[in-house]
Structure 1
Amino acid sequence: MAKVIFHDHEGKTREVDAKNGMSVMEAAISNMIPGIDADCGGACACATCHVYVSDEWIGKLKPKDDMEDSMLDFADGVQDNSRLCCQILLSDDLDGIEVTTPESQ
């Protein structure tokens, strides 16, 4: 199990537990986290699961592949720490990961 800590743009925090191997997006959807729409269901074909990964966690993630990088072009407010949470798979190494959902447009 891995804990995921979701922060929204207003500062509200929600902590959820998820099974290793699940994506951060799946953890968000199964716990009704606002700001994660996941329109494509995790196929890396939209940018509706865009999050900002906290600085202390960004270096622990596998690098973005070309598809994720290209999909982020469709997200608003992209920053250096922007990721699509459908591409972040949970593991013991990511237990406690913190992400922030961007302000909805």
Structure 2
Amino acid sequence: MLSPSLSQSEAIDTIIVSQANFKCIIIPPYSGPIDGKDSDVKLLCVVGDILKKTKNKVLVGDKVVVGSIKLVERRGVINIMFKQSSKILDPPVANVDHVLLLFTME
């Protein structure tokens, strides 16, 4: 899969948490240490207007391109979503490779 060329305020990563209208991703530090730390950055993102109009919902597990990154505020906008290889509706997650089912016996 080819990656789009990215500007300084864009990153590609996977959504790890979804709550209400916000999605959370973790990106590696690409413009130097933040707050004196050289660690990954957790961004709180919203879905861009173009993606809101499509049929596909942005789910946990989706690989996305985040733009308009503001590192100080730790915010971004999800502009592009890559194709989903699989989707589960309950709980809503995408790109699942394995599922483990646990049952209890009484």
Query: Normalising by structure 2, what TM-score?
Result: 0.26
Say which structure, 1 or 2, has more relative contact order (CA 8 Å, 6+ apart): 1
Structure in which a larger fraction of residues adopt strand: 2
Which structure: larger Rg? Answer: 2
Structure in which a larger fraction of residues adopt helix: 1
